[in-house]
C-alpha cells in the first residue's frame, strides 16, 4: 500500500477540527443546523488554511444520512464517499485546468439533473479566479438562479480577480493564516501520534517556515520524518529545511548592535560559504528585527512574537542595547538592500553593503540630551529653548567611511539617568507687539510648555497685523479648523499672551488675507535671521555643526 501523506491523513473531518477559523465554522454550523444553507459560497484566503477542507465538511454536513448536521457522522455511505472523493453528487473541479466556456456549459447542463443519492449536488470549484471571463459570463445565470438541490462552493487565494457580478451572488468567508503557535502545537501533536519525538524549537521552526499553512507544516514534517530516526531536533530541522538558525540571528544582530563590522561580515561569509540563500537571510533578519521591535515596545504575546521562552529571554537582554529608532533604521537599510539587488548589483555585494551599513550605523541621538552633554544646558534652555529653529541629523551610512561611535559600556548605558525635562520658559517680559518678529519664536516655546493643544494649532497662524495694541493672527482657508479650535480656547490663549506681553494687549483670530496655505507662508522672522541666530549662540551652532544639521524651519509660523 502506498504511503499517504500526513497532510491527507490529518485533514480535518468536521468544523471543530479546522484551525483558527472559528469565525467561519460558527456561521456555517449555525446555517446547517438551522436549515439556512445558501446556494453559493466563496471561501477566500492563503493556501493551506482550510478552504477545501471546509468545503468538504460542508458537503458532508448537508448530505450526511443522519443529518443535516454540523457534526456529520463520518460513517454513513455519503460521508465515506465524500471523504474518499468518489461521491456521485459532490464534484471537485480545478479551475486552473477546466477554465473555459465549454467546461462551464457542461456544468450548466449537469446541474439540471437531480442528485443520485444525496440531498444536494455540490460543485466545489478550486482556484475559481482562473476561469476565463467568458466562463464567468456563462456561469452567471446559473449562479443567480440555480436549481434548489445545487450548492456552489468557490475557493480562491485571489478574490480580487473575481468579477463583481460573481462576488455579489455569493456568501464570502475569509480564511486567516493559522498562527505560528497553533501550527507548532499541531505539528507536535501529529508527531506524537506518529510515535515521534520533536523538540519544541523544531516544531516552532516548522511552523514559522509554513507561513500560516497547515498543509505546508505537515508536508515539512513529512520531510523531517524521512531524515530522522524517531527524534527530530532543532539542529536537524534547521539543516534539513535550509532554515537560518535563531542562534545565528541572535549572534549576527548582537554584532550589529555592538558595531562590530568585522564580526558581522565574517558571520555573513560563513553563512554564504555554506551555500545558504541571501534573500532568505534578508527576509529572516527583517522578521527577527520586527520581533525585537515588538518586545522593545512591551509586547509579550507568544503568538505574536513567534518565540519560545528561552528566545524571548535572550531577546529581552539584546534590546536593552538598542532603541526603537535604531531598529526602524535597520529595517530601512534592509529595504535598501532589496532595492539595490533589483537594480542589478551582485546580491552578495549588496548584502555586504547592507550589513556593513547596519554595523556602522550611529546610535540615534536625543537632541535634548546632546544639548545637556554639550554643557550649560540649563542656561541654553532658559534663554533659547523657545526658539523654533529645527535641525535634521544626517546619519546615513557611507561604505567608504563608516561612522564610528564611541564605545559605551552597556551597564553604564542602562544605569544612566533619563534626561531631565527642559525647564519651563519664563516670559522675561513684557514684550512690545511692535517687535513681534524678534520674540515670536520664544512665545511659541512659552506656549508649548504651557499647552501642547494651543501650540499645535498656533503653528498654522500667520501674523496678519498689529493694530491698536492688538495682535491679529490670520489663518488660511485650509487652516480654518485650526482657527476654530483656537477660538474655542481664545480666553486661555489671550491669558498667555498677556502674561508674555503685558495686560494691555488684545488678540484677534481672523481669516488670512493671503490666499496661499499657511504652510508655505514666509516665517515671521526673515530666513537670514537663522544664520545670525547661530552666530549669536555658539553652543547651538556647535550642536548644528556636530550633527551636520540642516535648517528646515526658523521662526514660529510655518
3-state secondary structure 197-254: EECHHHHHHHHHHHCCCHHHHHHHHHHHHHHCCCEECHHHHHHHCCCCCHHHHHHHHH
Topology of domain 433-553, per CATH?
A: GMP Synthetase; Chain A, domain 3 (3.30.300)
CA 382 to chain centre: 41
Q: φ and ψ at 483, to 5 degrees?
A: -65, -45
d(CA 547, CA 532): 19
CB atoms under 10 Å from CB of 349, counted, come to: 11
Beta bridge partners of residue 442, listed in sequence order: none
Q: φ and ψ at 436, to 5 degrees?
A: -60, -30
Residue for grid cell 548644528: 544
Residue 105 makes CB contacts below 8 A (sequence gap 6+) with: 138
- Please list the residue range(s) of the chain that carry CATH number 3.30.300: 433-553
Say if CB 49 and CB 214 are below 8 A apart: yes
CB atoms under 10 Å from CB of 407, counted, come to: 7
DSSP 8-class letter at 552: E
Give me the CATH code for the 246-360 domain, please: 1.20.272.10
Closest alpha carbon to 7 in 206, 243, 250: 206
d(CA 212, CA 199): 20
Residue 548: left (phi > 0), alpha (psi -120 to 50), or beta? Answer: left
Sign of the CA dihedral running 66, 71, 75, 76: positive
- Please list the residue range(s) of the chain that carry CATH number 3.40.50.300: 6-174
- End-to-end C-alpha distance for the chain, whole angstroms: 78
**Helix and strand element counts for the chain (H, E):** 27, 12
- Please list the residue range(s) of the chain that carry CATH number 1.10.8.60: 180-216+223-240
Surface-to-core class of residue 79, CB atoms within 10 Å of its CB (0-12 exposed, 13-18 middle, 19+ buried): buried
List, for the chain, all residue ranges whose pLDDT scores fall below the cut of 50. Answer: 1, 376-424, 515-528, 553, 555-558
d(CA 83, CA 53): 10
Residue 66 makes CB contacts below 8 A (sequence gap 6+) with: 72, 73, 76
Residue 48, SS3 per DSSP: coil
Cα 365 to Cα 212, 217, 289, 292, distances in angstroms? 39, 44, 20, 20
Q: What pLDDT does residue 549 have?
A: 66
Cell reading at 27: 456561521
Residue 112, SS3 per DSSP: coil
- Please list the residue range(s) of the chain that carry CATH number 1.20.272.10: 246-360
Residue 90, SS3 per DSSP: strand
Q: What pLDDT does residue 41 have?
A: 92
d(CA 220, CA 224): 6
One of 2.40.30.10, 1.10.8.60, 1.10.10.10, 2.60.120.380 is the CATH number of 180-216+223-240, namely: 1.10.8.60
DSSP 8-class letter at 86: -
Q: φ and ψ at 130, to 5 degrees?
A: -80, -10
3-state secondary structure 348-410: HHHHHHHHHHHHHCCCCCCHHHHHHHHCCHHHHHHHHCCCCCEECCCCCCCCCCCCCCCCCCH
Residue 99, SS3 per DSSP: coil
Cell reading at 53: 477542507
d(CA 395, CA 380): 25
CATH superfamily of 6-174: P-loop containing nucleotide triphosphate hydrolases (3.40.50.300)
Q: What pLDDT does residue 374 have?
A: 54
Closest alpha carbon to 292 in 320, 263, 334, 270: 320
Say if CB 227 and CB 236 are below 8 A apart: yes
d(CA 14, CA 24): 13
Amino acid at each position: 500500500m502506498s504511503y499517504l501523506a500526513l497532510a491527507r491523513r490529518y485533514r480535518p473531518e468536521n468544523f471543530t477540527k479546522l484551525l483558527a477559523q472559528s469565525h467561519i465554522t460558527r456561521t456555517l454550523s449555525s446555517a446547517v443546523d438551522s436549515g439556512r444553507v445558501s446556494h453559493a459560497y466563496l471561501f477566500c484566503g492563503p493556501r493551506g488554511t482550510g478552504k477545501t477542507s471546509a468545503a468538504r465538511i460542508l458537503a458532508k454536513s448537508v448530505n450526511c444520512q443522519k443529518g443535516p448536521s454540523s457534526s456529520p457522522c463520518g460513517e454513513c455511505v455519503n460521508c465515506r464517499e465524500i471523504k474518499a472523493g468518489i461521491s456521485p453528487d459532490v464534484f471537485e473541479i480545478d479551475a486552473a485546468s477546466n477554465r473555459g466556456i465549454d467546461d462551464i456549459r457542461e456544468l450548466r447542463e449537469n446541474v439540471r439533473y437531480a442528485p443520485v443519492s444525496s440531498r444536494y449536488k455540490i460543485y466545489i470549484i478550486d482556484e475559481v479566479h482562473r476561469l476565463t471571463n467568458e466562463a464567468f459570463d456563462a456561469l452567471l445565470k446559473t449562479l443567480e438562479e440555480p436549481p434548489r438541490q445545487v450548492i456552489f462552493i468557490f475557493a480562491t487565494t485571489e478574490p480580487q480577480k473575481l468579477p463583481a457580478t460573481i462576488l455579489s451572488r455569493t456568501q464570502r468567508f475569509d480564511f486567516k493564516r493559522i498562527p505560528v503557535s497553533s501550527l507548532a502545537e499541531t505539528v507536535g501533536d501529529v508527531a506524537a501520534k506518529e510515535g515521534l519525538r520533536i523538540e519544541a524549537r523544531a516544531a516552532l521552526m516548522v511552523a514559522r517556515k509554513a507561513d500560516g499553512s497547515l498543509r505546508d507544516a505537515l508536508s515539512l514534517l513529512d520531510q523531517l520524518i524521512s531524515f530522522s530516526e524517531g527524534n527530530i531536533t532543532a539542529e536537524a530541522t534547521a539543516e534539513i529545511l535550509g532554515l537560518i538558525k535563531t542562534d545565528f540571528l541572535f549572534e549576527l544582530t548582537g554584532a550589529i548592535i555592538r558595531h562590530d563590522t568585522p564580526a558581522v561580515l565574517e558571520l555573513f561569509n560563513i553563512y554564504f560559504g555554506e551555500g545558504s540563500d541571501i534573500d532568505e537571510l534578508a527576509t529572516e533578519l527583517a522578521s527577527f528585527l520586527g520581533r525585537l521591535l515588538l518586545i522593545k515596545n512591551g509586547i509579550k504575546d507568544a503568538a505574536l512574537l513567534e518565540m519560545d521562552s528561552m528566545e524571548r529571554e535572550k531577546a529581552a537582554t539584546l534590546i536593552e542595547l538598542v532603541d526603537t529608532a535604531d531598529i526602524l533604521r535597520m529595517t530601512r537599510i534592509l529595504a535598501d538592500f532589496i532595492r539595490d539587488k533589483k537594480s542589478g548589483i551582485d546580491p552578495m555585494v549588496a548584502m555586504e553593503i547592507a550589513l556593513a551599513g547596519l554595523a556602522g550605523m550611529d546610535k540615534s541621538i536625543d537632541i535634548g540630551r546632546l544639548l545637556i552633554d554639550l554643557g550649560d544646558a540649563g542656561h541654553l534652555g532658559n534663554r533659547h529653548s523657545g526658539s523654533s529653529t529645527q535641525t535634521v541629523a544626517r546619519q546615513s551610512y557611507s561604505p567608504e567611511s563608516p561612522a564610528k561611535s564611541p564605545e559605551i559600556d552597556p551597564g553604564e548605558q542602562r544605569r544612566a539617568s533619563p534626561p531631565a525635562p527642559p525647564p519651563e520658559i519664563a516670559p522675561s517680559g513684557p514684550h512690545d507687539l511692535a517687535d513681534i518678529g524678534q520674540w515670536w519664536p520664544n512665545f511659541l516655546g512659552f506656549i508649548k510648555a504651557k499647552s501642547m493643544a494651543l501650540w499645535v494649532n498656533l503653528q498654522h497662524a500667520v501674523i496678519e497685523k498689529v493694530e491698536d495694541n492688538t495682535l491679529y493672527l490670520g489663518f488660511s482657508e485650509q487652516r480654518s479648523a485650526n482657527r476654530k479650535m483656537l477660538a474655542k480656547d481664545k480666553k486661555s490663549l489671550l491669558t498667555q499672551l498677556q502674561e508674555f506681553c503685558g495686560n494691555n494687549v488684545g488678540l484677534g483670530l481672523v481669516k488670512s488675507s493671503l490666499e496661499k496655505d499657511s504652510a508655505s507662508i514666509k516665517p515671521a522672522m526673515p530666513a537670514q535671521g537663522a544664520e545670525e541666530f547661530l552666530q549669536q549662540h555658539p553652543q547651538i551652532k556647535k550642536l548644528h555643526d556636530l550633527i551636520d544639521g540642516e535648517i528646515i524651519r526658523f521662526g514660529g509660523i510655518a
